[in-house]
Chains A and B, each alone.
Chain A
Amino acid sequence: MSNHTTNHNHHSRKERKGGIQELLAAEQRAVSKINEAKTRKIKKMKEARDEAQKEIDSYRKELQDEFEQKWKKDKAADEFSLQIQRKVRDEMRTIDSKVSTNKKQVIEKVLVQVYDITPELHENLQVSIPSETL
């Protein structure tokens, strides 16, 4: 009987030790599960940034393409500069034709002015003063 009891006690101690082990193992498993979840979360956050970056990159590329498409070739500017060149050419032609029509007239007018001299005394000169010397 006493033997049985001893045996029982021994058995029970062993059982109890195994129980604590089991608890510790459960604790350990729990901690590592939670740590795994935390690591997953960190990874998930990194994924968020990566995905966002990817989408932003493609958005930027989209806008860049759009921008280049829109501004690559300035047709209006080409037309504008052609128009200006045409205008200048026309104006130059007009100038040339006007000059060849009016040139003679201008030269004559200038020469007439050169030879047309009107001697005048300065308006401030008092003629009465030097008259004494006469």
Chain B
Amino acid sequence: MALSDAEVSKQIQHMVEFINKEAGEKVEEIDTKAEEEFNIEKGRLLQQEKLKVKSYFERKEKQVEMQRKIQRSNQQNQARLSILKSRDDNVDKILSDAAKKLGEITKDQAKYQQIISSLIAQGLFQLIEPHVNILCRKQDMEVVKAAIPAGIDQYTKATRVKVVVEINKVNFLPEECSGGVILYDKTHSISVSNTFESRLELLSKQMIPEIRGILFGASLTRKFYD
């Protein structure tokens, strides 16, 4: 049998209340969950991003530190190089000063003649040729002529070999060179340059360590002397 109006109304009221209650619970549940997830999400993001930021700055710091180290090392290197360069320049300067004084000995004729003799002998020793020509400065012709016998003498004594030595009377060493001779064999295929300039050049290569030693004291870092 049909329900009475009052009962129906009560029933409906009941259902409406139920719906409201359910909805209220659901809303509350969503809100609570939203609050929870808010905290979780924010915390997660903070932790993750802060870590990123921190490691970014740590990296940056390391980079700067590294850069500064490199910069220092470059500076140090630059300084060392400039000192070494200054030493080298000084050695070069001294050698070029020495080169300017090379010719002074020629003023002492006796001494110069003796030196030429030795230069000729040394050239002969190296050539070991029966016929040798000499190139000299025009102004040295007389000295060289006078020096030849002593040179040949030294050579013959040591080797017991005869040798003919002639001065080239057509070509000469340039007048502005500081002295000495060039010896060559008859065919012009071998020659020994015994000018003062070439001797200085040869010697300065060998003597640079010694020169440095005299100038600046012995190297503290050098390990080998051969």
Contact = CB atoms under 8 A, between A and B. Distances in A.
Given A15-B8, A107-B101, A131-B161, A52 B49 contact: yes
Interface stretch (B137-145, B151-159, B169-177, B218-226): B151-159
A130 to B, nearest CB: 5
Contacts of B22: 30
Contacts, number: 213
B161 A95 contact: no
Question: What DSSP secondary structure best describes chain B's contact surface?
Answer: helix
Nearest to B206: A113
B132 interface: no
Interface of A is mostly: helix
A133 to B, nearest CB: 6
Which 8 pairs between the two chains have the least Cβ-Cβ distance?
A30-B23, A52-B45, A41-B34, A117-B118, A19-B12, A37-B30, A119-B122, A119-B121
Interface of B: 2, 5, 8-9, 11-12, 15-16, 19-20, 22-24, 26-27, 30-31, 33-35, 37-39, 41-42, 45-46, 49-50, 53-54, 57, 60-61, 64, 68, 71-72, 75-76, 79, 82-83, 86-87, 90, 94-95, 97-98, 101-102, 105, 111, 115, 118-119, 121-122, 124-126, 128, 130, 154-155, 158-162, 194, 196, 199-200, 203-204, 207, 210-211, 214-217
